Amino acid sequence: MIRVLVVEDDFRVAQVHAAFTERVTGFTVVGSARTAAEALSLIADLRPDLVLLDTYLPDRSGLELLAEISVDTIMLTAVSDAASVRAAFAAGALNYLVKPFTAEQLGERLTAYSRFHNQLSPAGRALTQEDIDRAARTLHDGDHPHAPKGQSPVTAKLVSDALRTADGPCSAAEIAAGLGIARATAQRYLAALAQEGAAVMSLRYGLTGRPEHQYEWRC
């Protein structure tokens, strides 16, 4: 699960952003801060993976806070002048979403961030330039939402949810049987999850016959 801290001075808006975030598979909101000082304290205590940060905070600018923290951050703000946007990216913001926005717009960016996060998560190995380039492209996939060719967003969510909640690695046949879809369809969606970095693919060796691909959700 990707742990999220919402930093927003308006508690009603913070609740909306938290609700939008909780709708996205693989995300959980671990806290909410209304000031920069509270955000710093919660970051130290909760160690979130991602901060959703407003610019206008009662004690300090969110841009000042952004420059001080070492946590992945997406700006959620009504500020849209070029200087502020440049400052946010210069300070380390991974994305910038201008209010008001829809749950779908935030969800698209969070889903892209999740793939970026997963692609850069493997420990113990050096990344190739191809790995880095793919992660950089993935990070902004949600800025221009599109459905992968031949894929249904509904089916994609069903497959990803089934894999995420499974007790262990699953084959395409097992996912297909659980969802009532064709094995080839499940295989296609599982392969896409592995390519995006959301799932890990390995081989399952039986007593006889060819090894079978199995997939496990990357936590």
Q: How far apart are CA 11 and CA 27, in angstroms?
A: 20
Q: Give me the domains of the chain, ranges plus CATH numbers.
A: 2-119 (3.40.50.2300), 147-217 (1.10.10.10)
Q: How far apart are CA 91 and CA 65, in angstroms?
A: 9
Q: What is the pLDDT of residue 207?
A: 55
Q: For residue range 91-117, what is the model confidence (pLDDT) as tens digits?
A: 999 999 998 888 888 998 999 999 898
With contact defined as beta carbons under 8 Å apart, do 111 and 92 qualify?
A: no
Q: How far apart are CA 141 and CA 102, in angstroms?
A: 17
* Share of residues in the chain with pLDDT > 70 (%): 92
Q: For residue range 30-53, what is the model confidence (pLDDT) as tens digits?
A: 999 999 999 999 999 999 999 999
Q: For residue range 72-85, what is the model confidence (pLDDT) as tens digits?
A: 999 999 999 999 99
With contact defined as beta carbons under 8 Å apart, do 28 and 5 qualify?
A: no
pLDDT tier for residue 198 given thresholds of 50, 70 and 90: confident
Closest CA to 154 of 184, 185, 177: 185
Q: Which amino acid is at 94?
A: L
